[in-house]
A and B are shown apart, each in its own frame.
Chain A
Amino acid sequence: MPSKSAGLAGRTFAVYAKDIRLELRTRYGLNAILMFGITTLAVVSFSLGQSGLSPKLLAALFWIIIFFSAMSGLAQVFIREEESGTALALRLTADPDAIYLGKLFFNLTLLSVMVVIITPLFFIFTDAPAGNVGRFVVVLVLGVLGLCGATTLVAAIIAKASVKGALFSVLSFPILVPLLITLTAATEKIFDGLTFTSVSAELQFLTAYAVVMITASVLLFKFVWQE
Chain B
Amino acid sequence: MYTLKASQLAKRFGARKVFSDIDFQLHTGQSLAVVGPNGSGKSTLLKVLVSLLRPARGRVEYAEDGRPMDETTIRNRLSFVAPYLNLYDHLTAEENLRFFCTVGGHRVTGKEINGLLAGVGLEGRGHDLVDGYSSGMKQRLKYAVALLGDPDFLFLDEPGSNLDEQGREMIRALIEKRRQSSIVVIATNEPQEVGLAEQICRLGG
- The answer for the CA separation of A18 and B145 in the assembled complex, in Å, is 16
Question: Do the beta carbons of A18 and B50 come within 8 Å of each other?
Answer: no
Which residues on the B side are within 8 Å of A2 (C-beta)? 106-107
Which residues of A are found within 8 Å of B85, using beta-carbon distances?
Answer: 85, 88-89, 92
CA separation between A92 and B142, bound complex, in Å? 13
Whether, in the assembled complex, B52 has its beta carbon less than 8 Å from a beta carbon of chain A, the answer is yes
Contact of B90 among A25, A85, A91 (CB under 8 A): A25
A14 touches B103 (CB 8 A): yes
Whether A22 and B91, one on each chain, are in contact in the complex, defined by CB atoms closer than 8 angstroms, is yes
A98 to B100, CA, bound (A): 13
B53 within 8 A of A: yes
How far, in whole Å, are A101 and B11 apart by their CA atoms in the complex?
32
Give the residue name and chain of the A residue nearest to B53 (CB).
Answer: A227
In the complex, what residues of B have CB within 8 A of residue A15's CB?
Answer: 103
Is there a chain B Cβ closer than 8 Å to A162's Cβ?
A: no
- Do B86 and A84 touch (CB < 8 A)? yes
Q: Which of A73-91 contact B (CB under 8 A)?
A: 84-86, 88-91
Which chain A residues border B90 with CB–CB below 8 Å? 21-22, 25-26
- Chain A contacts of B78 at CB under 8 A? 92
- What distance in Å separates the Cβ of A193 from its nearest Cβ neighbour in chain B? 47
Contacts A88-B52, A227-B54 given; indicate if A10 touches B86 (C-beta within 8 A).
no
- Mostly, the A contact residues are helix
Q: Give residues 1-54 of A contacting B (CB, 8 Å).
A: 1-6, 10-11, 14-15, 18, 21-22, 25-26
Q: Is the CB–CB distance between B51 and A226 below 8 Å?
A: yes
Chain A 115-156 per-residue mask, 1 if CB under 8 angstroms from chain B, else 0:
000000000000000000000000000000000000000000
Chain B residues with CB under 8 A of A1? 106, 108, 112, 148-150
Residue pair B100, A93 in contact (C-beta under 8 Å): yes
Bound: A89/B106 CA distance, A: 16
B20 interface contact, C-beta 8 A: no
B26 at the interface (CB under 8 A from A): no
Return the chain B residue nearest A92 by Cβ: B80
User: Which residues on the B side are within 8 Å of A5 (C-beta)?
Assistant: 76, 105-106
A6 touches B102 (CB 8 A): yes
Interface string of B32-61 (1 = CB under 8 A from A): 000000000000000000111110000000
With the chains together, A188 CA to B99 CA distance in Å?
A: 44
**A95 and B75 in contact (CB under 8 A), knowing A18-B91, A85-B86, A86-B87?**
yes
**Alpha-carbon separation in the docked complex, A169 to B51 (Å):** 31
Closest chain-A Cβ to B47's Cβ sits at a distance in Å of 9
**When A1-B112, A21-B95, A227-B53 are in contact, do A93 and B103 touch as well, CB less than 8 Å?**
yes
- B166 in the interface (beta carbon within 8 A): no
Q: Kindly state whether residue A212 has any CB partner on chain B within 8 Å.
A: no
B95 — which chain A residues lie within 8 A by C-beta?
Answer: 18, 21
Decide yes or no whether B23 CB sits under 8 A from chain A. Answer: no
Measured in the bound complex, the distance between the Cα atoms of B37 and A156 in whole Å is: 34
Whether a CB of chain B sits under 8 angstroms from the CB of A94 is yes
In the complex, which residues of chain A have a beta carbon less than 8 angstroms from the beta carbon of B51? 226
> Using Cβ atoms and an 8 Å threshold, which residues of chain B touch A3?
76, 105-107, 149-150
Return chain A residues, CB-CB under 8 Å to B91. 18, 21-22
Is B75 within 8 A of A14, CB to CB? no
A89 touches B107 (CB 8 A): no
Measured between beta carbons, the chain A residues less than 8 angstroms from B106 are 1-6
Cβ–Cβ contact A91 & B52, under 8 A: yes
7 contacts between A and B (CB under 8 A): A6-B103, A10-B102, A14-B102, A88-B82, A89-B100, A95-B72, A95-B105
Having A6-B107, A92-B80, one finds 13 other A-B pairs with CB under 8 Å, namely: A1-B149, A2-B107, A4-B107, A6-B102, A6-B103, A10-B102, A25-B90, A84-B89, A86-B86, A88-B82, A88-B86, A92-B75, A227-B54
Binding site for B on A (CB under 8 A): 1-6, 10-11, 14-15, 18, 21-22, 25-26, 84-86, 88-95, 98, 226-227
